[in-house]
Amino acid sequence: ETGVTQTPRHLVMGMTNKKSLKCEQHLGHNAMYWYKQSAKKPLELMFVYNFKEQTENNSVPSRFSPECPNSSHLFLHLHTLQPEDSALYLCASSQDNRYEQYFGPGTRLTVT
Amino acid sequence: GQQVMQIPQYQHVQEGEDFTTYCNSSTTLSNIQWYKQRPGGHPVFLIQLVKSGEVKKQKRLTFQFGEAKKNSSLHITATQTTDVGTYFCAGPKGYQKVTFGIGTKLQVIP
């Protein structure tokens, strides 16, 4: 499945680093999402973009900063992260926010 | 706010046994979606149910949407080791975004 791609697939960063995660969808969808998935925790919705506009921010710390330049691309900018931010970060897209979502392979992030 | 509860959280079954996971919402859902995440993988969309009382089948998997559109179930007949993974239900309330359940992690013992 290559409908939703994410880069990088793995990332190790120090707490003082700045990095960005990239997501691209080739499905012509209008909604894009960032999720955090930690071990033994449910999927945590972080941000939702609908037609490039942010429609949801689930009390995510400001060290995570999303950017959606167009309906096909979504970024998650990371700075001064904490070790507890280590997780799998999943991007997804859907036709609109009520329809089924298609997930990318995720970025496995480790904060040291 | 809307919550989607899923039970059980974990299930171990012997290969060949049946398996069922249940999804319950505190509010009426516009539709119910089911996803599967293999170990080390990402959630993959399986199916969507829209109508009250709807039943859909995919080979050994049977999906059901309750009459009140507040609950759903996924039943797997004669599990195989390839069924291992976490099964999530998800659903929107009205025109609101989809909310995911916590998932049921299935282990199949060969």
B26-73 confidence digits (pLDDT tens): 889 999 999 999 999 999 999 999 999 999 999 999 999 999 999 999
The residue among B76 and B98 whose pLDDT is bigger is B76
Residue B95: both structure tokens together: 């025109």
Which pLDDT score, from 0 to 100, does residue B94 have?
67
Single out the residue of A7, A28, A17 nearest to residue A81, CA to CA. Answer: A17
Query: Which residue in the set B42, B92, B98 is minimally distant from A104, CB to CB?
Result: B42
Contact B48 A100 (CB under 8 A): yes
Measured over the CA atoms of residue A4, residue A9, residue A11 and residue A17, the dihedral's sign is negative
Residue B22 in this model has a pLDDT that exceeds 60: yes
Long-range contacts of A81-84 (CB under 8 A, 24+ apart): A81/A13, A81/A15, A81/A17, A81/A109, A81/A111, A82/A15, A82/A111, A83/A15, A83/A111, A83/A112, A84/A111
Report how far residue A80's alpha carbon sits from residue A90's, in angstroms, rounded to the nearest whole number.
20
The average confidence (pLDDT) of chain A is 92
pLDDT band at A106 (very low <50, low <70, confident <90, very high): very high
Nearest to A6 by CA among A106, A109, A111, A76: A106
Region of A95 please: left (phi>0), alpha (psi -120 to 50) or beta: alpha
Is residue B80 pLDDT above 90, yes or no? Answer: yes
In this model, does residue A56 exceed pLDDT 90?
no
pLDDT of residue B97: 76
- Residue B2: the pLDDT is 58
Are B97 and A55 inside 8 Å of each other by CB?
yes
Residues of chain A contacting residue B48, judged by C-beta atoms under 8 Å apart: 99-100
At A21 the pLDDT is: 98
When pLDDT is averaged across residues A50-75 and rounded to a whole number, the result is 90
Best A21, A43, A90 member to test B by mutation, with max B CBs in 10 Å, is A43
Chain B residues in contact with chain A using a Cβ-Cβ cutoff of 8 Å: 30-31, 33, 35, 41-45, 48, 88, 90, 92, 95-103
User: Which residues of chain B make contact with A100, given a CB cutoff of 8 A?
Assistant: 33, 45, 48
The answer for B60, left when phi > 0, alpha when psi is -120 to 50, beta otherwise, is alpha
Asked which of A54-68, A98-112, B91-105 is least confident by mean pLDDT, the reply is B91-105
* Beta carbons of B56 and B65 less than 8 angstroms apart: no
Distance from CA of B80 to the nearest CA of A (A): 23
Helix spans in chain B (H): none
Q: What is the pLDDT, as a whole number, of residue B95?
A: 66
Pick the more confident residue, A59 or A73. A73
Assess whether pLDDT exceeds 60 at residue B1: no
